[in-house]
């Protein structure tokens, strides 16, 4: 999903700090003994974009799971969610899956 979002931002020509664009991933597993199952994955993005790119960035975040082959491959078997901390100029906003613009 990280690569798909990165591509969506670049495709929209959004100037973002590529070195400062980070993702933290956490997962939950269950199982007994040697057999485990991934139950859920949560991705947290941290990035900075210019003020004029706010709407396009929010749109890219909302739509990136649909364009991610890995997400599409496992979404029916593993719950996948995301949220983001986006620095826009001097403002910091928090977005998450399901937020409407």
Q: What is the pLDDT of residues 3-25, one digit of tens each?
A: 999 999 999 999 988 888 999 99
The number of residues in the chain equals 101
Q: pLDDT at position 31, please?
A: 87
Higher-pLDDT residue of 101, 74: 74
Task: Tell me the two tokens of residue 7.
Answer: 């591509």
Average pLDDT over the chain reads: 92
Contact present, 2 and 22 (Cβ < 8 Å) = no
SS3 readout for 86-99: EEECCEEEEEECCC
Contact present, 53 and 15 (Cβ < 8 Å) = yes
Task: Tell me the two tokens of residue 78.
Answer: 């593993």
Q: pTM higher than 0.85 for the full model?
A: yes
**pLDDT tens track for 39-57:** 999 999 999 999 999 999 9
Q: Which domains does the chain have, with CATH numbers?
A: 2-80 (3.30.300.20)
């Amino acid at each position: 999903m990280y690569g798909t979002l990165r591509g969506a931002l670049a495709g929209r020509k959004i100037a973002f700090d590529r070195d400062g664009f980070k993702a933290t991933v956490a997962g939950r597993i269950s199982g007994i003994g040697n057999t485990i199952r991934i139950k859920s994955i949560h991705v947290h993005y941290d990035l900075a974009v210019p003020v004029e790119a706010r709407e396009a960035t929010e749109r890219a975040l909302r739509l990136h799971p649909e364009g991610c082959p890995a997400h599409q491959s496992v979404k029916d078997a593993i719950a996948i969610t995301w949220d983001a901390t986006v620095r826009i100029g001097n403002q910091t906003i928090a977005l998450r899956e399901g937020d409407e613009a």
